[in-house]
């Protein structure tokens, strides 16, 4: 089975721009979660989607948004980019939608640099 | 509030040494799940193990072993006979009744030949 894929792998943007990152989960997985990893804050949960609905949300400003499509693919969007948004953005998918917690499998990440 | 503490920022060992990575967690949930992930330089988080709060059995998988102790809220990870390929950052994580993972700050392990 193919793993979680994320595109693009690298991205350079300037302050004020917006960006969209894409994530394709493992086939059959219906839950997709997004995390931000920075040297200063570590790994932080952004949000989780299941069946096209946001099920959980982390403590990030409204500039960070996401969505999930009917095929479980997910996108996250960051508007009005700030220098502090430079990070590795990791997507994870999990299979069992009925369990409260299932093992999450991560993609390779998208490294976003904001200049 | 949930919290995961990995007090060891960086560990350096020579190949074939055994090494233990510490993880201490805090949670008020009675049901919770603990995980270990490995992050090699490529950046992808690789799942290693998941343990639920009702299962305190230690686990061994090849050179890897995990010691879960609820009494001390710890979930430590031991690599026996370390190898250069074990060099990576290792994260301990906790979740309650949602898919939101709370990660520790990670321990960078360097294994020298």
A20-42: average pLDDT:
95
Distance from CA of B50 to the nearest CA of A (A): 7
A43–B91 C-beta distance less than 8 A: yes
Of residues A16, A23, A55, the one with CA closest to residue B99? A55
| C-alpha span between A42 and B23 (Å, rounded) | 16
Mean pLDDT of chain B: 93
B3: confidence class by pLDDT, cuts 50, 70, 90: very high
Please answer yes or no on whether B98 and A108 come within 8 Å at the CB atom: no
What does the pLDDT read at residue A97? Answer: 61
Residue B82 has pLDDT above 90, yes or no: yes
- The residue of chain A with its CA nearest to that of B49 is A103
Residue A105 has a pLDDT of 93
CA distance B6 to A54: 30
A109/B99 CB distance under 8 A: no
Average pLDDT of span A11-29? 97
- Min distance A109 CA to chain B CA atoms (Å): 6
Inter-residue contact A6 to A21 (CB < 8 Å): yes
The predicted-structure confidence for B17-31, as pLDDT tens digits, reads as follows 999 999 999 999 888
pLDDT at A98: 62
Q: Quick check: A54 pLDDT over 80?
A: yes
Q: Do B103 and A101 touch (CB under 8 A)?
A: no
């Amino acid at each position: 089975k193919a793993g979680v894929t994320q595109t693009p792998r690298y991205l350079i943007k300037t302050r004020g721009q917006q960006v969209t990152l894409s994530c394709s989960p493992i086939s059959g997985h219906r839950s997709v979660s997004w995390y931000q990893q920075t040297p200063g804050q570590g790994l932080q949960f952004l949000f989780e989607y299941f069946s096209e609905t946001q099920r959980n949300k982390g403590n990030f400003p409204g500039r960070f948004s996401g969505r999930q499509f009917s095929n479980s693919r997910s996108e996250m969007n960051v508007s009005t980019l700030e220098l502090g948004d430079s990070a590795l953005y990791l997507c994870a998918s999990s299979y069992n939608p009925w369990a409260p917690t299932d093992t999450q499998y991560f993609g390779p990440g998208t490294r976003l640099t904001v200049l | 509030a949930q919290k995961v503490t990995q007090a060891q920022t960086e560990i350096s060992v020579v190949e074939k040494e055994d090494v233990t990575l510490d993880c201490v967690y805090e949670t008020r949930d009675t049901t919770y799940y603990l995980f270990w992930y490995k992050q090699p330089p490529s950046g992808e988080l690789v799942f290693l193990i998941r343990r639920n709060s009702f299962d305190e059995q230690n686990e061994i998988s090849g050179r890897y072993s995990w010691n879960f102790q609820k009494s001390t809220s710890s979930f430590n990870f031991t690599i026996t006979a370390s190898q250069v390929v074990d060099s990576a950052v290792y994260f301990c994580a906790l979740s309650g009744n949602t898919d939101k993972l709370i990660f520790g700050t990670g321990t960078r392990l360097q294994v020298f030949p």
